[in-house]
Amino acid sequence: MRNAAEPGYLKLYRSGELAKRAGIARARLARCELCPRRCLVDRLHDRRGVCRTGAEAEVASYNPHFGEEGPLVGAGGSGTIFFSNCNLLCVFCQNYEISHRGEGVAVSDGQLAAMMLSLQKQGCHNINLVTPSHVVPQILAALVVAAERGLALPLVYNSSGYERVETLRLLEEVVDIYMPDFKFWERESGRRYATASDYPEQARAAVQEMHRQVGDLVIGDDGLARRGLLVRHLVMPEGVGEAGAIMRFLAEEISAATYVNLMDQYRPCGRAGEFPPLDRPLAHEEYLEARRLAREAGPLRMEDRDLARLFRYLGAR
């Protein structure tokens, strides 16, 4: 059993397994099927599929982030790296400029590694990879460089939930904390809002695989997450029923101890105005009903969103 205080990728780096997986993942770019889109384009020669990303990862920004879930933030923040583009492309994306319009710059493996090391030097508690599904090979290659240069922070895989299990298996003992969204329960919602009618089954399989790898979220005495699964769901207008179904799935088929952030901050972004009822903000009553259904689903561990947590954080600064 590995040292719980040490990120899993360090053991894989020392054994040579991390470099081996980076090579396997990179080879898959030649006929890309990293995600359920399975575009089969040759990204090594800069052909572009749905994610519009070629051989190099593209990054929009990287910085300590204090708006993430409590167990990720602490006093030093979560070290977020926002990757440009996306394999899901929801019409309501709140990062539309990054995900749909590709704001950002291409970076080499060494440059990506340097970003990780910079965030560690700034005192962040983890490296939080935001929208990483389409750049897994580049992340693995950068980790080899970063581990050699002293990176030792837990790795957070912060994704849309639209994943292929075959790709996730390359990340076993590499990722310490999986943080997927679970966006849609109904195939029609996936089709209408992300042109991905298979989203529900792909997300279910992905969350099951993630939990198999890392288990329930483990939080240390300092309040910081060490390892495990944290699931987000953004409650959307007229989406309360889907929220309830997702909560039941998590409680009954993943774990009653699943850590969940049931989010209430939906607002119309991107092209949401073209897709009623997403053209309006979430009603407070809808969110309260979603919370009620979550409580009925089982003893899930819900993210503490009250002002007390904010005041505790401010007091630590």
Residue 241 within any structural domain of the chain: yes
The answer as to whether 111 is a domain residue is yes
Alpha carbon distance 264, 285 (integer Å): 11
Total length of the chain: 317
In-domain check, residue 209: yes
pTM for the model: 0.94
- The reply to whether 283 falls in a domain is yes
Residue 34: inside a domain? yes
Number of folded domains that form the chain: 1
Per-residue pLDDT of the chain (317 residues; tens, 9 = 90+): 344 578 999 999 999 999 999 999 999 999 999 999 999 999 999 999 999 999 999 999 999 999 999 999 999 999 999 999 999 999 999 999 999 999 999 999 999 999 999 999 999 999 999 999 999 999 999 999 999 999 999 999 999 999 999 999 999 999 999 999 999 999 999 999 999 999 999 999 999 999 999 999 999 999 999 999 999 999 999 999 999 999 999 999 999 999 999 999 999 999 999 999 999 999 999 999 999 999 999 888 998 754 434 444 444 44
Interhelix angle 17-27/8-15, nearest 10 degrees: 90
Domain assignment present for residue 1? The answer is no
Is residue 3 in some structural domain? no
Tell me which residue range forms the domain holding 196.
8-316
* CATH number of 284's domain: 3.20.20.70
Alpha-carbon span 9 to 171, nearest angstrom: 9
The one-letter code for the residue type at 170 is L
Assigned token pair, 233: 């769901």
Residue with tokens 């849309």, as numbered in its chain: 160
- Find out whether the peptide bond into 277 is cis, omega within 30 degrees of 0: yes
In a domain, 36, yes or no: yes
Residue with tokens 């979430």: 282
Distance CA 224, CA 232 (A): 17
* φ/ψ (deg, to 5) at 161: 90, -5
How much helix, strand and coil, in percent to the nearest 5, is found in the chain?
A: 45, 15, 40
Token readout for 51 is 């994610």
Contacts of 135 (CB under 8 A, 6+ apart): 53, 57, 83
